[in-house]
């Protein structure tokens, strides 16, 4: 089953189902993974290590944006709210990196890895998803994910000032 595909208005949300390639995910990036301009502190890039699995992890955590069926900015506010509700530490100096799922999978295909994105909700974090089959040993893949797939960055400090939209 692929979530979000078809012409129905409501998105079916079944745990562990694949998320449609046309949809998007956002990955929270701690400040240490952000490359900032030395003069004005604006974010100018992301270190590839932001997409490296930690020991014992089976997938990269991300959040499915279209889960909320809201405009992107409102969905991103809800994602931050959900991360905080699930007791994750979210720094106002961090950022959300946004990517289209088809772009993520294309990078994997070019690197001989069959990447998939599954819906994996957690307590308090309803839009939580997992990006499977990224290759830690392939630093070029990690760099491509950071430069090409997750190229849209939204600073947390700009989102936290706005109240989440009720879903």
Q: Which two tokens stand for residue 104?
A: 């993520």
Query: pLDDT at position 12, please?
Result: 61
The average pLDDT across 50-70 equals 96
- E strand intervals along 20-158: 24-29, 34-36, 43-46, 60-64, 95-100, 116-119, 128-132, 152-155
Judge residue 122's burial from the number of C-beta atoms within 10 Å of its C-beta, 0-12 exposed, 13-18 middle, 19 or more buried: middle
Q: What is the CA radius of gyration of the chain?
A: 15
On whether the CB atoms of residues 97 and 50 are closer than 8 A, the answer is yes
With a CB cutoff of 8 Å and minimum separation 6, the contacts of 94 are 28, 29, 30, 31, 34, 155, 156
Residue 166's pLDDT band, with cuts at 50, 70 and 90, is: low
Query: pLDDT at position 162, please?
Result: 56
Query: pLDDT at position 72, please?
Result: 96
Residue 6's pLDDT band, with cuts at 50, 70 and 90, is: very low
Question: CA 68, CA 78: separation in Å to the nearest integer?
Answer: 8
Any idea where the domains of the chain sit in the sequence? 19-159
What is the residue whose two structure tokens read 């839009």? 127
Q: Which of 11-25, 124-138, 151-165 has the lowest mean pLDDT?
A: 151-165
The average pLDDT across 142-167 equals 84
Query: pLDDT at position 3, please?
Result: 56
The average pLDDT across 118-140 equals 96
User: Does the pLDDT value for residue 85 go beyond 50?
Assistant: yes
The average pLDDT across 14-19 equals 87
Alpha helices in 51-117 (DSSP H): 72-85, 101-110
User: Does the pLDDT value for residue 109 go beyond 90?
Assistant: yes
Considering the chain, what is the average pLDDT of its residues?
A: 90
Question: CA 63, CA 80: separation in Å to the nearest integer?
Answer: 9
Q: Which two tokens stand for residue 4?
A: 């979000």
| CA dihedral (50, 83, 67, 56) positive or negative | positive
Query: pLDDT at position 15, please?
Result: 80
């Amino acid at each position: 089953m692929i979530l979000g595909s078809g012409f129905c208005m409501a998105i079916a949300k079944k745990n562990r189902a694949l998320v449609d390639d046309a949809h998007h995910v956002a990955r929270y990036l701690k400040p240490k993974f952000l490359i900032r301009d030395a003069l004005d502190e604006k974010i100018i890039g992301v270190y590839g290590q932001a997409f490296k699995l930690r020991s014992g992890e089976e997938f990269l955590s991300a959040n499915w944006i279209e889960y909320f069926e809201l405009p992107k900015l409102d969905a991103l506010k809800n994602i931050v709210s959900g991360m905080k509700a699930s007791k994750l530490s979210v720094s106002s100096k961090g950022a959300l990196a946004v990517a289209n799922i088809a772009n993520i999978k294309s990078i994997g295909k070019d690197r001989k890895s069959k990447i998939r994105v599954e819906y994996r909700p957690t307590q308090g974090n309803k839009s939580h998803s997992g990006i499977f089959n990224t290759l830690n040993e392939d630093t070029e893949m990690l760099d491509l994910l950071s430069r090409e797939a997750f190229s849209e960055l939204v600073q947390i400090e700009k989102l936290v000032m706005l109240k989440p939209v009720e879903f």
